[in-house]
Each structure stands twice: as structure tokens, then as C-alpha cells.
Structure 1
Amino acid sequence: MSQPVPPPDNPYAGGPGQQPAGQNPYGQPAPGQNPYGQAPAGQNPFGQAPAGQNPFGAYPPAPAPRRNNVGLGILAAVVAALVTAGVYGAILGGIEAEIGWAAVGVGFAVGFAAGKAGGNNPVLPIVSAILSLGAVYLGQLVGIAVFASKEFGASFTQLFFEEFGMLTEAWSEAKDPLTFLFLALGAVAAFSGAKKAGSSG
């Protein structure tokens, strides 16, 4: 008589063919393991920075504070006033005429130097305008000295430093409305230049 053939092992029912307890018949990890390969609990599966850190890299540096050095700004304005006065006077003496754009250039250079060196302090535009008046006036005196040195064959330095009173008298006699207009243009340009340079940092 033939022996009965035992049924194949059934992984879904009890019996000798069933998977041992605690094993998953589908090859999945045991309970408590992550079936998707993600990071263990408590770790960030996306590779982001831990809490409290910036996930996008370092923050951009804070902008540098604006300068506010009145003394340095005034010093720069004085130097610019002296230099531009000499240039302005040389131009006036060379062409023997007053030109408005040159006075505007003097004022703007004085104001710009003050704002760049001293920052956006509200005192600097006012000081720049005053210094610009002095620079344009001094430049006009230099121009008279240059013209006189050519006319009379005298030394410029001698006229300017030894006959300064004569130069101021000559300026007073030659002044006209345009003279004061150029002074005003220089002051306005200085005020504007200082404001612009100070605000741009």
C-alpha cells in the first residue's frame, strides 16, 4: 500500500512548514527596523542641518556700519578745498575769465571728499558748503595773481604772499553778480556732494 504524500509546507498555516516565529515570510525587516532604509529615529533622513543650524549655509555678513567721523571729514574737505582752489585759480588765470562749471567742480569735490571720509553726519554738508565758498574765493584770488604775474612779469608767489592785500582789493573792484553766483553754485554743489557721498558710504 502506498504511503500518503505529505502536503507541501504552508507558510500561511501552522504546521511544520510554517516560518519560524519572528521571521517575516516576505523578506521584510523584523519589527523595529526601518523597511525603507531611512536614517534611524532621531536622525534627519534628508541630510539637513540639525535644529538650530542654518540648512542653507552661512548667513551673509552684516553690512558694515556707516562711517560718522566728523573730524576726518572736515580734514578731507580742507585738503580738497586747498587743492581745488589752486586748480581753479590756475584755470581762471590761464583763460582770463570766470567759468561757472569750474566753481561747481570745486564745490562738488570739497563736499564729496568730506562725505567719503566722514560719512553721513549732517554737519559735513554745511561745513563743506562754507569751505567751498572759501575755496572759490581763494581760487579767484589765485586767478588774479596768475593774471597779474603774466601782465607785469612778477613772480606769482611774491604777488600772492607779499601783495595779498592788493589782490583782495583787485577782487573787490572786479567783482560782479556772476562772481557771487559762482560762489553760490560752489556752495550748493558742495552740500549736494557731501550728502551723496555720505549716503552711499
Structure 2
Amino acid sequence: MSQPVPPPGNPYAQGAPGQQPAGQNPFAPGAPQQPAGQNPFGQAPDGQNPFGAYPPAPAPRRNNIGLGILAAVVAALVTAGIYGAVLGGVEVEIGWAAVGVGFAVGFAAGKVGGTNPVLPIVSAVLALGAVYLGQLVGIAVFASKEFGLSFTELFFQQFGMLTDAWNEGKDAMTFLFLALGPVAAFSGARKAGASD
């Protein structure tokens, strides 16, 4: 029976300097050991990583106020619609929903815009507007169900009537929910920016 011939360029072929001879157990007693202080999985002698590319470096910290504000505006419009649909559907104001609106607006601004100190303030203002707009949407959803009117017609053509209805129906809870949204937005923007 003949010995297999190692392929050319095999670093473990017999006679390669500093390498284990082919066919021998590198962990057997008396086998040549790795020099002390040298990591067998570290850099190759030519400075290249023998296992491929290193993992990508972490993304640089974002500090883009324009994109942060844009993300907050989009989040404010979307959450105002959702908040209004919930209010109109259940016909009662829900505090955690106002907190959710504010937090979503702030989180979007902080995650996209980074740690810019203006973003929590802008987020709070936008969240206040989103909660107010959501309350108007809720009134429009309720009125469209109650009176059989089209929501779009009611919201876009009778907006003054909606604001009058909001003024007549406001109470202490309305203002509490208007305050919860901005507080949650401020906090959400700071946390999202800091965790980036």
C-alpha cells in the first residue's frame, strides 16, 4: 500500500518549517507545542486574519437632526391616526394610548436623529400635536359612525365643527392626555438617542 501524496502548498505537509508533520496527533505527548504567548487563532504571519474578514465595525453615532425631525413627523401622523381610530372605536379616552403616541414620536426621532439635544424638544411639541390631532380624528370617527357620514368628508370639510366639538367636550382628562404625550416623547427621544 502506498502513502498518499499531500497536495502542493499544504502547510501541514511533511517538512514544512514549524508545522506538525502530516498524520501525527498534535496533542500527543512529545508533539511540538505552540510557542508560549502566541495565539494559534490570531493574526497570520503576514498580518492577515486567517479566518476571513473581521466583523464590521459598529455604525458611527448618528446626529442628523433633519432626519430625526422627519422621522418624528411621520411617526406623529401615523400614531395620531391610530390613536384617533382607537378613541373613535371605543368612544373613551385612554391614557396609555396617549403615552404610546408620545413615546413612538420620541423614539423615532432619537433612533434616526441620534443624540441631538433639540430632538427631545421637537418630539414633545410634535407629540402634543399628534395627541390633539388624534383626539380630533377620534371625534370624526365617532361622528361618522353615529350620523352615517363619510369620515373623509367630515374630517376635511367640516374641520371647524370637529374643533368646536373638541372644545365642548374637553375636560381635565383631555389636558392630562395632552400632557402625557409630550412627556413620553421627550423621554423616548432621549432614551433612543442614548441607546444608539
Is TM (by shorter chain) over 0.5? yes
State how 1:41-120 maps to structure 2 within 5 Å: 46=35, 57=43, 63-120=58-115
CA RMSD, 1 decimal: 2.1
Amino acid at match of 2:183: V
Tell me the SS of whatever aligns to 1:120.
Answer: coil
Residues 1-201 of structure 1 correspond to what in structure 2 (within 5 A)?
46=35, 57=43, 63-201=58-196
TM-score by length of 1: 0.70
Q: Which 4+ residue blocks in structure 1 deviate beyond 3 angstroms?
A: 46-49, 56-64
Query: What's the CA shift string for 1:70-93, capped at 9, x where partnerless?
Result: 000000000000000000000000
Structure 2: 5+ residue stretches without partners? 1-34, 44-48
Gaps of 5+ in 1: 1-45, 50-55
Distance across 2 between alignment mates of 1:133 and 1:110: 10
Normalised to the residue count of structure 2, the TM-score between the two structures is 0.72
Amino acid in structure 2 at the alignment position of 1:77: A
In structure 1, distance between residues paired with 2:131 and 2:194 = 25
Shift of 1:60: 8.9
Deviation at 1:65, TM superposition (A): 2.7
Supply the distance in 2 between the matched residues of 1:60 and 1:93 (Cα, whole angstroms).
49
Cα pair distance change 1:47/1:184, threshold 3 Å: same
Aligned length: 152
SS of 2:110's partner is helix
Distance 1:60 1:151 in 2: 59
Report the CA distance between 1:146 and its aligned residue.
0.4
Deviation at 1:64, TM superposition (A): 3.8
> How far apart are the structure 2 equivalents of 1:199 and 1:124?
12
What is the CA distance between 1:155 and its match in structure 2? 0.2
Give the Cα–Cα distance (whole angstroms) in 1 for the partners of residues 87 and 58 of structure 2.
Answer: 44
Pair 1:62–1:154, CA change in 2 (3 A): closer
CA-CA distance at 1:66 after TM superposition: 1.1
Percent of pairs identical after alignment?
81
Check 1:61–1:160 CA distance in 2 against 1; reply closer, same or farther (3 A cut). Answer: closer
